[in-house]
Chain A
Amino acid sequence: MGATAIVVLRLRSLFAVVMLSGIYSFLAASMFVALDAVDVAFTEAAVGAGISTVLMLATLALTGSRERIPVHTPPLPLLVVLVTGAALIYATFDMPAFGDPAAPANLHVAPRYLGDSGHEIGIPNVVTSVLASYRGYDTLGEVTVIFTAGVAVMLLLGGRRGQDAGRKRGDDDAGDAV
């Protein structure tokens, strides 16, 4: 995965970069499966390797497929990135060990979800009952945000086409009148 990312950074042919990012998504999906996070891997493969490859290719059809060679390689951003990364890695030393049953996240509400959600909510899948019932308002908010984004995209894309169609029709009418 690291090698793929480095090659993506070094290549200038954007088509090859799109291909390699698809490969990167597949590798990340295999890694998630190996870490036993099958649902995350599924999302990664569907969105990363499937949809976003197609979307990036559609963008390439509108723009050029070569990247300009950057004129400067400033060392200051590299320094900032290195310091931030080091700080984040240092922060992970304070985290509880992976899968630690005494971690705070596993002690607060998780036992109640695991133990009682079956007869409190009546859904056999714990994740579903958490998302749809315990955090119902949260999920409602997320659905509202996604719906708003979808409406905005449809307005942006569909509205322009409607205007174009109207103008064309107007031209046709004018031609008929002449």
Chain B
Amino acid sequence: MGLLVACLLVTCVLTGASHGQAYCALRDPVRVLYEAYPEADSHRSIIRTVTAADRDAIERDLSLTILYDELGRHTLYVPLREGHPLGLLHVRSERGRYGLTEIAWSLDLEGRITDGRLQRCRDPKLREAFAEDLLSQLGSADVPEILALLQKEGLTSEQRVVLGSAAKTSVVTSIVWDADLLPMRAAVLANTKWPESEAVLHAVQIDRSAFIADTGIEPLSVHAWSVRGVDGQQLGILARSWVNFDGQRVELWWQIDLNGCIVDVSAGDKESSSIKQAFSEVFGKSTATMAECSTAAGVVAGELLHGVGTSIMDGKVD
């Protein structure tokens, strides 16, 4: 897997005003964006910087490096319908035989590739590689799944470029735009967990010093939102944390009611029966009653409630 990821990173170049072009050359990918999301009525741009520090950190931690050309400001597009995100669109350039090929990748809010379109391509062989069967295999694939596809026998070099571009797009989107995507993901989840009213989220400033070490929760990853209905009525609390649990590292979303009791714990939008089962014993429990659960799940849940609850009690709600 490391070999494949390494190879991917050699071949890709981020789009943007490349090679010193003036910004008047920038164009929104309007055609491919509204082809990919025909129900969208507008889009939002999010421009972020890939820095040398990012490049160094990836290189230091992974022994890989992103290309120097990839540093700088780049744009992620969020197609919207009536202000609600439908997904993501990220256009990346790949070096080809005849210059740069621009591929517009559609992703869900979790950063998984859902579709791809060629925005500009001079290479007929690369166009051929962008066939329906290859794209269908990419549907909702995460990076490990895409890398697994790359290990299949019989792929042409152009197909490898396409798959590599997909994996690279997913990685970079998840890293560079993580902080931007988190509130959107939270909003989508809140509406599924509180379907009775369109949820309005207000961020809670987390006091990470309130978390005790070695409980499994990664304090830096904890984010929480006060969830209210459109009429302002408070519905509950939604929290997100990364947790080292049962030998694996998982992202958990916590639904907490107005009494401070855990209603649900889920692994994002993924159905995970093992997570549900492991945390089922904490449902209905609050900070006061969590001591009854002496299991690992109880420890984690108790720590989460303590840390988030402390911040709310201190009034750190936007």
Q: Do A and B come from one complex?
A: no
